[in-house]
Structure 1
Amino acid sequence: MTTLSTSVKRLQAEGQEGTAHAAPLRSIEALRQAGFIGAADRDALEAVAARYAVSVTPAMAALIDPADPADPIARQFIPDAAELTTLPQELADPIGDGAHSPVEGVVHRYPDRALLKLVHACPVYCRFCFRREMVGPGGDALTGDKLDAAFAYLAAQPQIWEVVMTGGDPLILSARRLREVAKRLAAIPHIRIVRWHSRVPVIDPARITAEYARALKVPGKASYVAIHANHPREFTPAARAAIARLADAGHVLLSQSVLLKGVNADVETLSALMRAFVENRVKPYYLHHPDLAPGTSHFRLTLEEGQALVRQLRGNLSGLCQPTYILDIPGGAGKIPVGPSFLNAAATPGVEAQVEDRHGRRHAYPPP
């Protein structure tokens, strides 16, 4: 997967028109030369790279402290030999995209919304990615007859109210291609909401020019951008400026994060992350429990541990900072909220429930 396809090379070049970009680090040798891995680890990590794509953008490389073995940015993007361990419960398609894909590039799991996967490549490859068996620099873009078939499906399903643009990362595409896609979406009357999911505003912020932000607008539709970030250090000045350009262009901004051991699985980091989103006009939306993707067990914590962390956010952070803790049921059954409950059964007649406050104290409701 480490060889770039011709079409993806072209798409990346087009997306960088008018901007000065240093090359991402796309090989174990490049990471070694940058000081992010040692020579002793090279053979094991070459085995990882042979199976899962590698790419670290200059913006993310600049945030990594090579002297810190627990650096949370490195943990997200630098390959780890633990990725070679696949547990029996881990799945190549952990959330069941394939079971809900009526035509190539479309996932239609819920009645009123569908995913459109425009491209199977990303500027960076997260080591915990739930689509890691499907995306990579050898992944092609959805073009020609395949793209026509995807749009024909969307147009023929009047119940589809929202289209979620995903991949890969759709913001790897050029502004010109995004405008072409926006024009085709605008021509489908029953689609009212277009939501773009991307890592780009934080991992490659120079790409988000004012023109690029405008290219994401779909005439006549409400436009949302879900920004994926997992650690408050990702909010560099350049990332904040890129996010501001999206907000100023009229996009409603939402957050996507994954709860990751060694990255953000403590209340201080998680609180700072959610506050960073809100300070940048991004409404916290989903906090994902890690999916059962192959080779990712070293990132996962238990649901009980995740609930305890989310419980600590309630009452200690503004309501604006509260994400929904989500589990994507393996096999394709969909997302469910798995946050902690603050209601407990009441045995007293006339009392509907025992409710728990942020200090852990219980109160009868309604009061006797």
Structure 2
Amino acid sequence: MITASPTSRLSSPSPGWRELWRDAITDAGELLRAVGLDARTDLLPPDDAGFPLRVPRGFAARMHQGDASDPLLLQVLPRRAEHDMAEGFTVDAVGDMASRTGHGVLHKYDGRALLIASGSCAVNCRYCFRRHFPYGEEIAAAAQWREALTHVKADTSIRELILSGGDPLSLATHKLAELTRGLAEMPHVIRLRIHTRLPVVLPERVDDEFTTWLSSLPLQKVVVLHANHANEFDASVDAACARLRDAGATLLNQSVLLRGINDDADILTDLCERSFAAGVLPYYLHQLDKVAGAAHFEVDDETALRLVDALRARLPGYLVPKLVRELQGDPSKRPIADFAR
């Protein structure tokens, strides 16, 4: 793995999350050199396949030196296969635009509304189902969340508000506080759910200002993390998870089943165990959303079901994630077993 440089006792204070964000690797050649693969530029497509590369240096430091098959590297490195056309793979894989009910508001499921809080992520995962999403036109945080909050206030069936993106924790904490001030007049909203990858890829984001805001919220709080491999966890991620729990959040993890990365029973077992060791309960194991550019990650349903059967044989039931797929128009995530066997 990449060895971190020793820190001098006389050095300046550690950089904050914004500085670390700005210092992310954004060039594929630089990323390859950082992991000792400078001779492998043949792996790369032209122009990052139309989807910019972004990797925090702390996340890159968890990759194994000289390993072109490192499971963290393969999640973020652009590949020529992203230009391959594949039947059934589209730019709007789960029907986001059809479920739009307001500026930056997606309302797919009863009792829950999702806000596209930001179009930015600290890391750009190559299988991202929103890699083609028109974020410039659909950000709920624009104009102090007014249109989004108007929709949520008018629909008293909404009990849970979900922040997604992009990554909602890419927003400054004061911007998140604007939203929750607006929720104060909506007694029907009892729960805030945040879907975020930042505590995993940039754990410094879970700072004092953020945890003070989160702990102050008079709502049930759920933070859904996204990790696909046990190697994504380290001591810094464990510490961020502990801070989130101390702020009153229930922590869940959702993963995507990815060919060549975690389509192995031993790897998935390790992920579930490592996630729980960090205080994060396995939640969903998603079959890949069929977004254009990601077909090379797909794992067939029969293989997926065999893998989950293996997890059930190895793990207590509470550590076995639900194997699901999201389909446009469905009233909920659909268990794979409902139509694969």
- Structure 1 residues 105, 146: CA separation in 2 closer, same or farther (over 3 Å shift)? farther
Q: Is the partner of 1:314 in helix, strand or coil?
A: helix
- Structure 1 residues 285, 339: CA separation in 2 closer, same or farther (over 3 Å shift)? farther
Q: Which residue of 1 is the match for residue 175 of structure 2?
A: 177
Q: Which residue of 2 is the match for residue 122 of structure 1?
A: 121
Q: Is the partner of 2:177 in helix, strand or coil?
A: helix
Q: For the Cα contact (< 8 Å) 1:82–1:298, is it kept in 2?
A: yes
- Tell me how far 1:339 sits from its aligned partner: 4.2
Q: For the Cα contact (< 8 Å) 2:21–2:122, is it kept in 1?
A: no
Which residue identity does 2:62 align to in structure 1? L
Distance between the aligned counterparts of 2:40 and 2:234, measured in 1? 32
- Tell me how far 1:28 sits from its aligned partner: 3.0
Q: Is the partner of 1:150 in helix, strand or coil?
A: helix
Q: Is the partner of 1:216 in helix, strand or coil?
A: helix
For 1:242-276, what per-residue CA distance to the aligned partner results, in whole angstroms no more than 9, with x for missing partners? 11110111101111111111111111110010111
TM-score w.r.t. the length of structure 1 is: 0.82
For 1:284-330, what per-residue CA distance to the aligned partner results, in whole angstroms no more than 9, with x for missing partners? 11110011011111111101100000011113102221111111115
Q: Which residue of 1 is the match for residue 71 of structure 2?
A: 72
Which residue identity does 1:242 align to in structure 2? A
Which residue identity does 1:197 align to in structure 2? H
Q: Which residue of 1 is the match for residue 56 of structure 2?
A: 57
Q: Which residue of 1 is the match for residue 305 of structure 2?
A: 307
Which structure has greater helix proportion? Answer: 2
Q: Which residue of 2 is the match for residue 24 of structure 1?
A: 24
Q: For the Cα contact (< 8 Å) 1:186–1:221, is it kept in 2?
A: no
Q: For the Cα contact (< 8 Å) 1:36–1:78, is it kept in 2?
A: no
Once the two structures are superposed, the pairs formed by residues 3-152 of structure 1 within 5 Å of their partners are: 16=17, 23-35=23-35, 38=38, 41=41, 44-49=44-49, 51-134=50-133, 141-145=139-143, 147-152=145-150
Distance between the aligned counterparts of 1:150 and 1:94, measured in 2? 23
- Structure 1 residues 35, 165: CA separation in 2 closer, same or farther (over 3 Å shift)? same
Distance between the aligned counterparts of 1:85 and 1:216, measured in 2? 43
Name the count of aligned residue pairs.
Answer: 326
- Tell me how far 1:36 sits from its aligned partner: 6.1
Q: Which residue of 1 is the match for residue 316 of structure 2?
A: 318
Distance between the aligned counterparts of 2:57 and 2:100, measured in 1? 34
- Structure 1 residues 98, 141: CA separation in 2 closer, same or farther (over 3 Å shift)? closer
Instruction: State the identity as a percent.
Output: 34
Once the two structures are superposed, the pairs formed by residues 205-244 of structure 1 within 5 Å of their partners are: 205-217=203-215, 219-244=217-242
For 1:205-237, what per-residue CA distance to the aligned partner results, in whole angstroms no more than 9, with x for missing partners? 111123312323463210000011000011111
Distance between the aligned counterparts of 2:90 and 2:26, measured in 1? 25
RMSD: 2.6
- Structure 1 residues 214, 333: CA separation in 2 closer, same or farther (over 3 Å shift)? same
Gaps of 5+ in 2: 1-15
- Tell me how far 1:283 sits from its aligned partner: 1.4
Distance between the aligned counterparts of 2:35 and 2:267, measured in 1? 26
- Tell me how far 1:47 sits from its aligned partner: 3.0
